[in-house]
């Protein structure tokens, strides 16, 4: 079902509530990566061009006690947004009340206001996270129309996304629309052949995704720490490599059902200690020493995965191939990144999270059709789940 977006409504003179995902990484009060702010700009700029008055808001981190407020204020985000938009952004350090209401009433067409971290409301009975009906109704009362552009929270039923939409016409922003088009497109009407690449540490994090992708993808390539539970299920010696012993039977059953649809590593880089400075050996997957841990896929696996990608029309990737944070164990992830980037005629999608971070860190940001901004949301979407934040957006 196609969803209404920001171009389907009249914005001139309207107070437009925009739920963005500005949950950016911070260190000592400084933003270390502003990609999520950059991704929200097209929606905000469009609303400004149309003569809307913007009230933008977001969560930041988890607010569990009063002392969290100081380090989780959105004030630095408002400052960075002002720089990116090249215009003043009025910041109101409140989540409700007369000061906020007066500031919104004073807005002129083309003005931008940001209010404080929505999760400050969690200090009083988790009103944001538990979708308190009164809070959703209150926030809705502040505007004329609601634009949800926060895909990163689409899998959550919070007051700031689902709660507001109960009381106000709700449309998607351009970023949300893009996520629905690409991630939703893989699930609902994929352009085949489809190849899925899954990595990361745990099988348990991706059980639903693997199950659903086996119904969609022609091949599912599995790397990263999660591969070793599957290799153990095949009876292989995996040494000290990551293992979820309670998932061996699941892996065994999946391998029996999927046959050659699942492709596993054939070699790996092993070491005796979990360190970037460890002595590294590349071994066949059948020759992992008992006292060593596999920390990356090897060159033969990269070549095998590259071969499997040939002719794919759609590629979706979620999860790094090894401990990519260590430069000496990033080669598998780089190799897969390069192999996907070379597919000029395919729709190539990264499902957020660590793989998105890896692609950006490694300089491949512009080589993919779409890099999702939501790790957890994209995983649940790929599982085939109905995301409450998307369901709440009006249908066309």
Catalytic positions, written as ranges: 36, 202, 353, 376
Length of the chain, please?
396
Task: Please state, in angstroms and rounded to a whole number, the distance separating the CA atoms of residues 19 and 140.
Answer: 11
Q: Per the annotation, does 62 bind a ligand?
A: yes
Task: Please state, in angstroms and rounded to a whole number, the distance separating the CA atoms of residues 265 and 238.
Answer: 12
Q: Per the annotation, does 325 bind a ligand?
A: yes
CB 36 within 8 Å of CB 22: yes
Q: Per the annotation, does 353 bind a ligand?
A: yes
Q: Per the annotation, does 19 bind a ligand?
A: no
Q: Per the annotation, does 169 bind a ligand?
A: no
Q: Per the annotation, does 354 bind a ligand?
A: yes
Q: Per the annotation, does 23 bind a ligand?
A: yes
Q: Per the annotation, does 206 bind a ligand?
A: yes
Q: Which residues pair with 314 in a beta bridge?
A: 194, 347
Q: Per the annotation, does 96 bind a ligand?
A: no
Which amino acids are annotated as binding site for ATP, given as ranges?
206, 325, 352-355
Which amino acids are annotated as binding site for substrate, given as ranges?
21-23, 36, 59-62, 119, 156
Which amino acids are annotated as binding site, given as ranges?
21-23, 36, 59-62, 119, 156, 206, 325, 352-355
């Amino acid at each position: 079902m196609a969803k209404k977006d920001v171009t389907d409504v009249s914005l001139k003179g309207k107070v437009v509530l925009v739920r963005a995902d500005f949950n950016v990484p911070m260190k000592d009060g400084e933003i270390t990566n502003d990609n999520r702010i950059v991704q929200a700009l097209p929606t905000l700029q469009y609303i400004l061009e149309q003569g809307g008055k913007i009230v933008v808001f977001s969560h930041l981190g988890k607010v569990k006690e009063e002392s969290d407020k100081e380090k989780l204020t959105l004030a630095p985000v408002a400052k960075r947004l002002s720089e990116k938009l090249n215009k003043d952004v009025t910041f109101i350090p409140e989540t409700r009340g007369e000061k906020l209401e007066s500031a919104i009433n004073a807005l002129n067409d083309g003005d931008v206001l940001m209010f404080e971290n929505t999760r400050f409301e969690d200090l009083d009975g988790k009103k944001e996270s538990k979708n308190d009906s009164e809070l959703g109704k209150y926030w809705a009362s502040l505007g004329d129309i609601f634009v949800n552009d926060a895909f990163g929270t689409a899998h959550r039923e919070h007051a700031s996304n689902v709660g507001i939409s109960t009381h106000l016409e709700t449309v998607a922003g351009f970023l949300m629309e893009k996520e629905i088009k690409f991630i939703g497109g893989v699930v609902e009407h994929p352009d085949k052949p489809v190849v899925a690449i899954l990595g990361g540490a745990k099988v348990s994090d991706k059980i639903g995704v693997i199950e659903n992708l086996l119904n969609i993808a022609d091949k599912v390539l599995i790397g990263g720490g999660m591969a070793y539970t599957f290799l153990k299920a095949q009876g292989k010696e995996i040494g000290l490599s990551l293992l979820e012993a309670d998932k061996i039977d699941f892996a065994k059953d999946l391998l029996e059902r999927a046959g050659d649809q699942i492709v596993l590593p054939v070699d790996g880089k092993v070491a005796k200690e979990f360190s970037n400075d460890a002595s590294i050996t590349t071994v066949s997957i059948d020759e992992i020493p008992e006292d060593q841990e596999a920390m990356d896929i090897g060159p033969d696996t990269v070549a095998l995965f590259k071969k499997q990608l040939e002719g794919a029309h759609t590629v979706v990737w979620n999860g790094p191939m090894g401990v990519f944070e260590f430069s000496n164990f990033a080669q598998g992830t780089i190799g897969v990144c390069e192999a996907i980037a070379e597919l000029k005629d395919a729709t190539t999608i990264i499902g957020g999270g660590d793989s998105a971070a890896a692609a950006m860190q490694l300089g491949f940001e512009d080589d993919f059709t779409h890099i999702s901004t939501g790790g957890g949301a994209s995983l649940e979407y790929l599982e085939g789940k109905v995301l409450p934040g998307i369901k709440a957006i009006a249908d066309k």
